[in-house]
Amino acid sequence: DQQVKQNSPSLSVQEGRISILNCDYTNSMFDYFLWYKKYPAEGPTFLISISSIKDKNEDGRFTVFLNKSAKHLSLHIVPSQPGDSAVYFCAASASEGANNLFFGTGTRLTVIP
Amino acid sequence: GAVVSQHPSRVICKSGTSVKIECRSLDFQATTMFWYRQFPKQSLMLMATSNEGSKATYEQGVEKDKFLINHASLTLSTLTVTSAHPEDSSFYICSASTGRGYYGYTFGSGTRLTVV
């Protein structure tokens, strides 16, 4: 049972434009959400997170939006850069510090120069 | 920053043999390490949580006798796949916690296991 879903396996965006990666979840107990970035042959690296008490968190070019009623979150990257090309995973947990992170299947972002 | 080294990156073994995967925290002490498994086009699934000096906690459906986890020191955890079968072929990845919440979760680069 996939509790965290990333329905778009891939996304291509022109350099300088906005990249929007989407993530949906089914478990209403999730209250902490994270995005990880993964390059080939490397482990995922933490990118940005958001707690359910917020609907937006911004860090430089990266902004995560959370819509709890829709059980949906999105990652916006603007402006997109070629170095952003990677696989992006969203993850969710029932509480910060809980061991079990539930991951989505990932979205491969390609930023075209 | 925190670095986790995972070795080997790729391994091919014959059915029935055992394979050991190492996960080392290079510049920090990891009291907790996590082992994940990823099938093609699927998400990372937590297999087990290992704490230094104690038995690992396995997630439901993960055979503890097949996937042996040892966390003998604060910098090393190992996953041994015993009596490997072709269905064990997968991508295994470890993560170590620096104890600073999710910001402190550092992942290894993963191990691609192929059982023939």
Residue B101's pLDDT is what? Answer: 62
Whether the predicted pLDDT of A63 surpasses 70:
yes
Q: Does A35 touch chain B (CB under 8 A)?
A: no
Q: A35 pLDDT band (50/70/90 cuts)?
A: very high
Assess A1–B contact: CB distance below 8 Å, yes or no: no
A13-17, A38-42, B109-113: segment of lowest average pLDDT:
A38-42
Q: Is A107 on the interface with B (CB under 8 A)?
A: no
Q: Looking at CA atoms only, how far is residue A100 from chain B in angstroms?
A: 7
For B30-42, what is the mean pLDDT?
Answer: 86
- Find the Cα–Cα–Cα–Cα dihedral A92, A94, A95, A100, rounded to 10°: -70
Asked if residue A65 has pLDDT above 70, the reply is yes
Separation CA A9–CA B81 (nearest Å): 29
pLDDT of B1 reads 67
pLDDT (mean) for B79-101: 89
Chain B contact present for A101, CB below 8 A: yes
Name the token pair of A42: 């490397």
Question: How many CB pairs lie under 8 A apart between chains A and B?
Answer: 56
CB contact under 8 A, A46 and B105: yes
CA dist A29 and A20 (Å) reads: 25
- For residue B19, give how far its alpha carbon lies from the nearest alpha carbon of chain A (Å): 20
Which amino acid type is present at position A59? D
Angle (nearest 5°) at CA B97 between A68 and B18: 110
Could you tell me if B51 and B70 are in contact, meaning their C-beta atoms sit under 8 angstroms apart?
no
What the block records as the tokens of B10 is 């790729």
Does B46 contact A100 at a Cβ distance shorter than 8 Å? yes
pLDDT band at B102 (very low <50, low <70, confident <90, very high): low
Q: Which amino acid is at B34?
A: F
User: In the prediction, which pLDDT does A54 show?
Assistant: 94
In contact, A23 and A76? CB cutoff 8 Å: no
Mean pLDDT of A54-79: 97
